[in-house]
Amino acid sequence: MSHTAHHGAATDELAKIGSGLKKRTELALGDEFLRKAVAFTTNKLKTGRLKAMDDFGDWETWRERGRAIREHVVSHLDYYLGQFADNVAKAGGHVHFCQTGEDAVRTFLDIARKAEAKLVAKGKSMVSEEIHLNERLKEIGVEAVETDLGEYILQLARETPSHLIIPAIHKNKQQIADLFSEEAGETFPAETKPLADYARRRLRNVFLEADIGLTGCNFGIAESGTITLVSNEGNARMVTTIPKIHVVVMGMERLVPTFADVEVMLNLLARSATGQKLTTYTSFITGPRREGDLDGPEELHVLVLDNGRSAQLGDPQFQPVLHCIRCAACLNVCPVYKHVGGHTYGSVYSGPIGAVLTPLLLQDYKEAGTLAYASSLCGACYEACPVKIPLHDMLVQLRHRKVKLKLTPAAERAAFKTYATAFGNVKVYKMASKAAYWLQQPLLRKGAIRRAPGPLAGWTQSRFLPMVPKRSFRERWADLQRELAQKPSQPAGGKKEERS
Amino acid sequence: MKVSLFITCLADLMYPEVGESVVRLLHRYGCEVDFPELQTCCGQPAFNSGYQDEAREVARQWIRAFEHSDYVVSPSGSCTGMVHHYYPELFRNEPEWKAKAEALIKKTYEFSQFLVQVLGVTDVGAEFPHKVTYHPSCHAMRLLGVRNEPLQLMEKVKGLKLIDLPNRDECCGFGGTFAVKMADMSEAMVCEKAKNVAETGAEVLVGTDMGCLMNIQGRLNKEGKPVRVMHLAQLLEEGGANR
């Protein structure tokens, strides 16, 4: 499902994060290719992660260490940002603090104009997606080419990533072969090798001709001003060594204090993301090319982006969202994500982390806040998170925020008022339960409700609703007591100490 | 030992026989079970939907019902999880209620957790000669850490053949109001769960939470799949009825 491929008023609605959610869900659920592809890959990643955790051993200790490092950095972000910026500058790089996405775009465009750049070779960067950089470059006549294979596929398809680390997770080989064939003007079979060979040939020229290499940043190391990049394709290394200018775009929270800390984080990241011990390439970049270096850029710019992040600092409920290391483990275990894929979320960041991060970064609870309902609150996201972000709790708190801002439907507000009255008082509760027994009568068919009206229609569209029995448990209680008075009881065999 | 039954609103209104099984089993092991009349619901439906004021009102009713209990036992990991995991948060600005909630948390258990951890029972002497598959409920697992207790209890049941449920730990798609509000997402999830259950060839699906079981059963029934759905307490009680 592509967002940019559709046009018209219906599309505008479809593109709205909240109002379009239902329609996008329907489209995704009707797309068998997408569902198969996403379920297959997320399952592979999930299994790989579990095995890698197991092989590594002592996972909970590592996880707690990772959480503690991230919490420490985010709680002292001003200090570490200062240290990081000083050290980037000392190494010969330029740091640009950008408050908004627009600031970051303008800063980048200035760099591109000054360099009279025509071509930008891009490594994978979710932040560049967040600020919609590609379109803006196009407007000033600069071509940006994605060099991560998945991102390149999506660029050809004019789509956005649907997964944090496997951006084209929703595409199968045949769809990729079709895209490459159209681009190259020759026909490729749906086989990995010829497709990868074509991408390699095509992208090699981009590396050689690009004026600017653009990358994200997995971790900025404050003690040295080092940019850490992980990749499995080697494209990040090409992008950061061949073009004359290297521009890094990074979220302001993406720091660790020391190299010792980055070791912990890399151990957690690779295992949680792909089940690898380490990604194929890990690059540590400190400053631009130094005298005597054989390669590397002449200029290094680091764009540090706020764009809604600092608004979370000091918020006891949501500050930990900044601990995220973008491993996508929460996407891979999320049963909602598995069925609907990333585009259904209608935002750059998808899955459980996207459902939490998007409304917070955009400060938009009306539209983006609706994503908080795209979860059964099963908690699989929290369980998988390598830095223990309580995403399931945050989803509930976001719903609460929506309620507090009076952004929920009036009928729903009234329903919960009624609920509080009925369930806050046992007399009313008992009357309501009697009423439910009688009200269901016209709807019953063979002891179950097969089609319910009103809000319960959502339930019966896919399942039967059991009937309310005539006598509730509390009405049977007296009989049960009489029954038990006749029966002997025995103390338990191996009675244990009470839990402390 | 005095134990108060926290029936949960769902089991009170829809599945009274589950409560009866829990009470009969606890009675058998010497527990003196009472049923605090004041109880209604734990407040989770409102809390999970973001209505914390409404949830707090209902949660206060829950605390009033149980504040004098020695132990509180419930046939639901989700409702127990609500008390354990969210009551302190819900009453963060009301120290008096928060203290009451925290005192109660220490005494509140999910049914299988109570049998195994407090009563020290894993063998209830039941016999149940059927093929059974087990769906672990998310909140029992992830909010309470109840993973092995139901399995320990089933292992000791004579004749019971436990068949592994594929993708066992994956949510069934219930999620309370999620099932209604995000009906399409929920449907995709419950269809997959029901398919996995049916494919095991088990005669019985067992679980520890009636919310999840009502959801999966509702789907199985709609598809006309002949799988019997039972709460673990019902299985243990029925299997031991003729002892």
User: What is the per-residue pLDDT across B160-178, written as a single tens digit (0 to 9) for each?
Assistant: 999 999 999 999 999 999 9
H or E segment and range at residue B4: strand B2-5
Domain housing A453: 440-486
**Structure-token pair, residue A172:** 């199968």
**In A2-113, which ranges are E strands?**
94-98
Gap between the Cα atoms of A451 and B161, Å rounded:
36
**Region B10-16 average pLDDT:** 97
Confidence band for A497, pLDDT divided at 50, 70 and 90: very low
Query: What does the DSSP assignment read for A178-226?
Result: HHHHHHHTSPPPS-HHHHHHHHHHHHHHHHHH-SEEEE--SEEETTTTE
Confidence band for A5, pLDDT divided at 50, 70 and 90: very low
Instruction: Say what the pLDDT of residue A13 is.
Output: 86
Contact B106 A401 (CB under 8 A): no
Residues A89 and A238 in one domain: yes
Sign of CA dihedral B53, B54, B56, B60: positive
**Structure-token pair, residue A263:** 């070791």
Q: Which residue of B has its CA nearest to A398?
A: B50
In three-state secondary structure terms, B243 is coil
* Residue A242 pLDDT exceeds 80: yes
What residues in B contact A496, CB-CB < 8 Å?
117-120
* Residue A494 pLDDT exceeds 90: no
Nearest to A384 by CA among A330, A423, A331, A304: A330
Gap between the Cα atoms of B102 and B89, Å rounded:
11
* Residue A493 pLDDT exceeds 80: no
Residues A252 and A110 in one domain: yes
Residue A24 lies in a domain: no
Count structural domains, chain A.
2
Residue A407 lies in a domain: no
**DSSP bridge partners of A249:** A303
Which residue blocks in A242-289 are alpha helix, DSSP H?
259-274
What residues in A contact B219, CB-CB < 8 Å?
462-463
Instruction: Give chain A's mean pLDDT.
Output: 94
| A247 conformational bin, left if phi > 0, alpha if psi -120 to 50, beta if neither | beta
Instruction: Say what the pLDDT of residue A178 is.
Output: 96
Instruction: Say what the pLDDT of residue A12 is.
Output: 83
Nearest to B72 by CA among B30, B121, B22: B22
Which residue has 């220490």 as its token pair?
B106
Instruction: Say what the pLDDT of residue A4 is.
Output: 44
Task: Tell me the C-alpha to C-alpha distance, in Å, between residue A461 and each of A127, A403, B129.
Answer: 40, 27, 35
**Region A473-490 average pLDDT:** 92
Confidence band for A61, pLDDT divided at 50, 70 and 90: very high
**Region B70-74 average pLDDT:** 98
ipTM for the assembly: 0.96
* Residue B123 pLDDT exceeds 60: yes
Q: How many residues does chain A have?
A: 500
**Region A433-442 average pLDDT:** 92
Tell me the pLDDT tens digit for each residue of A454-473. Answer: 888 999 999 999 999 999 99
The amino acid at residue A332 is N
Give B114's DSSP letter: I
Contact A419 B117 (CB under 8 A): no
**Region A279-285 average pLDDT:** 97
Q: Which residue of A has its CA nearest to B221?
A: A464
- Which of B1, B15, B58, B236 to mutate against chain A (most A CBs within 10 Å)? B58
What residues in A contact B23, CB-CB < 8 Å?
480, 484
**Region A62-77 average pLDDT:** 98
**Region A154-165 average pLDDT:** 95
* Residue A364 pLDDT exceeds 70: yes
H or E segment and range at residue A153: helix A149-157
What residues in A contact B187, CB-CB < 8 Å?
461-462
Q: How far apart are the first and last CA of chain A?
A: 53
Tell me the pLDDT tens digit for each residue of A172-197. Answer: 999 999 999 999 999 999 999 999 99
For A41, counting Cβ atoms within 10 Å of its Cβ (0-12 exposed, 13-18 middle, 19+ buried), the class is middle
Confidence band for A499, pLDDT divided at 50, 70 and 90: very low
Please indicate whether residue B137 or residue A1 has the higher confidence score (pLDDT). B137
Residue A58 lies in a domain: no
Residue A138 lies in a domain: yes
Instruction: Say what the pLDDT of residue A500 is.
Output: 38
What residues in A contact B189, CB-CB < 8 Å?
335-336, 339, 376
- Which of B31, B53, B78, B177 to mutate against chain A (most A CBs within 10 Å)? B177
Gap between the Cα atoms of B27 and A231, Å rounded:
61
Which residue has 């290391």 as its token pair?
A325
Percent of all residues in chain B with a pLDDT value above 90, rounded to a whole number: 98
- CA torsion A238-A239-A242-A248 (nearest 10°) is -140
**Region B11-30 average pLDDT:** 96
Contact A375 B30 (CB under 8 A): no
Instruction: Say what the pLDDT of residue A492 is.
Output: 56
Gap between the Cα atoms of B134 and B172, Å rounded:
12
- For domain B131-239, say whether CATH 3.30.70 is its number: no
* Residue A495 pLDDT exceeds 50: no
Whether the Cβ atoms of residue A458 and residue A452 lie closer than 8 Å to each other: no
Confidence band for B92, pLDDT divided at 50, 70 and 90: very high
CA atoms within 13 A on the CB side of B226: 2
**Region B135-154 average pLDDT:** 97
Domain end, chosen from A291, A307, A323, is at A307
Domain end, chosen from A307, A330, A362, is at A307
**Structure-token pair, residue A57:** 């051993």
Strand order from edge to edge, sheet including A212-215: A94-98, A299-305, A245-251, A212-215, A119-122, A143-146
Sign of CA dihedral A152, A153, A159, A165: negative
**Region A237-252 average pLDDT:** 97
Confidence band for B102, pLDDT divided at 50, 70 and 90: very high
Domain end, chosen from A307, A325, A357, is at A307
**Region B43-55 average pLDDT:** 98
**Region A214-236 average pLDDT:** 97
Instruction: Say what the pLDDT of residue A11 is.
Output: 74
Instruction: Give chain B's mean pLDDT.
Output: 97
Residue A225 lies in a domain: yes
Residues carrying CATH 3.40.50, chain B: 131-239
Q: Which residue of B has its CA nearest to A446?
A: B221
Give A324's DSSP letter: -
Question: Number of CB pairs < 8 Å for A and B?
Answer: 227
Confidence band for A271, pLDDT divided at 50, 70 and 90: very high
Contact A429 B40 (CB under 8 A): yes
**Region A225-234 average pLDDT:** 96
Instruction: Say what the pLDDT of residue A274 is.
Output: 96
